[in-house]
């Protein structure tokens, strides 16, 4: 029953992007309002290292977030961010921005999210010198032209109403020569459209990778922790929905990644 409901909801989201944008906003607002635990600071599916990729060295207190951070790190490691100005669009609960600031050392980092509740939580839990969070819409950014050296966007764009509008905004706020570090998932039948949207943005595609195997392995490795967190923190009434959201092994989304109906992709682009 619950998986039928999830499939129906995802279908509706595919057909009506405005409905997807609004319902996801409610969901993120409610989660930030009612689940305040500061140890829950990421909301992505994670990235496991395969084929001999080099393991980033983390403090022991950050090990719990290794898989989720690695989804950021595999992008951030492609360019030199030290002392640069970096914007994250869709910063969620702030763990990604906080660890990027700590390990990749941009001079300034701003996280933006359309959930005002998440932004408040982030400023309280992660705000510090050189790292702040603001409320705003990815499709209408509240920044001047050519403000940032780089923009990072992790597992957020699937919520947007218009990818073209979003890419126009990214290009606007990037300085010439600036980089756009992008990763997210799409249905396999949407991949050509995504490639066209990125090409039409007139930023240059420097690198492209299908990271679906890394994400599936991360979900496998993280399954027990995700299940335990949900039993511990989420009321029984919502546990099924959260297992779907978390991508545990029985979930629709996990199966779609495993059979490649859903593809997780990452791109490095550069503004000329
Ligand atoms: C799956 S979460 C990922 C959060 C974070 N990047 C991470 O990896 O933990 C997606 C985030 O994108 C944000 N988001 C979705 N649509 C947005 C929009 N139009 N403008 C700004 N943020 C948006 C949501 O509020 C949510 O925090």
**Where along the chain do its domains lie?**
2-270
CA 254 to chain CA centroid, nearest Å:
16
Classify each residue of 238-250 as buried b or exposed e, where b means 16 or more C-beta atoms within 10 Å of its C-beta. eebbbbbbbbbee
Count of CB atoms within 10 A of residue 42's CB? 22
Return the best residue to mutate from 31, 45, 90 for the ligand 1 pocket (most ligand atoms within 8 A of CB).
90
CATH assignment, 2-270: 3.40.50.150
Assigned token pair, 178:
């600036």
Expressed in angstroms and rounded, the spacing between residue 168 Cα and the centre of ligand 1 is 18
Instruction: Specify whether the CB–CB gap between 205 and 198 falls below 8 A.
Output: yes
Atom of ligand 1 nearest to the CA of 161: 19
Expressed in angstroms and rounded, the spacing between residue 269 Cα and the centre of ligand 1 is 20
| Helix 212-233 and helix 66-76, axial crossing angle in degrees, nearest 10 | 150
Return the best residue to mutate from 156, 161, 244 for the ligand 1 pocket (most ligand atoms within 8 A of CB).
156
Would you write out the chain's pLDDT as a tens digit for each of its 272 residues?
A: 467 777 787 778 888 888 889 888 888 888 888 887 777 899 999 999 998 999 999 999 999 999 999 999 999 999 999 999 999 999 999 999 999 999 999 999 999 999 999 999 999 999 999 999 999 999 999 999 999 999 999 999 999 999 999 999 999 999 999 999 999 999 999 999 999 999 999 999 999 999 999 999 999 999 999 999 899 888 888 898 889 989 999 999 999 999 999 999 999 999 99
**CA geometry: angle at 258 spanning 9 and 226, to 5°?**
75
| Helix 2-15 and helix 236-246, axial crossing angle in degrees, nearest 10 | 50
Expressed in angstroms and rounded, the spacing between residue 137 Cα and the centre of ligand 1 is 10
CA 233 to chain CA centroid, nearest Å:
22
Q: Which residues contact 73 (CB under 8 A, 6 or more apart)?
A: 47, 56, 103, 104
Instruction: Specify whether the CB–CB gap between 31 and 113 falls below 8 A.
Output: no
Residues with CB under 6 A from ligand 1: 24, 28, 42-44, 90-92, 96, 113-115, 118, 137-139, 154-156, 159-160
Atom of ligand 1 nearest to the CA of 118: 27
Nearest CA to ligand 1 atom 26: 92
């Amino acid at each position: 029953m619950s998986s039928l409901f999830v499939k129906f909801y995802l279908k509706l989201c595919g057909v009506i992007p405005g409905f997807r944008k609004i319902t996801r906003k409610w969901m993120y607002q409610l989660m930030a309002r009612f689940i305040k635990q500061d140890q829950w600071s990421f909301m992505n599916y994670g990235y496991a290292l395969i084929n001999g990729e080099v393991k980033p060295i983390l403090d022991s207190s950050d090990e719990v977030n290794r898989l989720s951070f690695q989804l950021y790190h595999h992008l951030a490691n492609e360019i030199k961010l030290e002392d640069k100005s970096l914007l994250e669009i869709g910063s969620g609960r702030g763990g990604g921005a906080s660890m990027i600031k700590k390990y990749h050392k941009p001079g300034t980092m701003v996280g933006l999210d359309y959930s005002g509740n998440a932004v408040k939580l982030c400023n309280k839990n992660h705000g510090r010198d050189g790292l702040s969070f603001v409320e705003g819409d990815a499709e209408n950014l509240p920044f001047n032209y050519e403000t940032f050296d780089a923009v990072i966007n992790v597992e957020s764009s699937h919520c947007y109403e218009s990818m073209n509008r979003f890419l126009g905004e990214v290009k606007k706020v990037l300085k010439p020569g600036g980089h756009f570090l992008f990763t997210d998932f799409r249905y396999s039948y949407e991949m050509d459209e995504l490639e066209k949207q990125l090409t039409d943005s007139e930023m240059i595609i420097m690198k492209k990778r299908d990271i679906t195997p890394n994400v599936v392995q991360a979900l496998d490795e993280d399954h027990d922790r995700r299940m335990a967190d949900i039993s511990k923190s989420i009321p029984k009434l919502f546990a099924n929905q959260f297992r779907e959201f978390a991508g545990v092994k029985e979930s629709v989304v996990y199966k779609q990644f495993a059979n490649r109906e859903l593809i997780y992709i990452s791109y490095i682009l550069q503004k000329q």
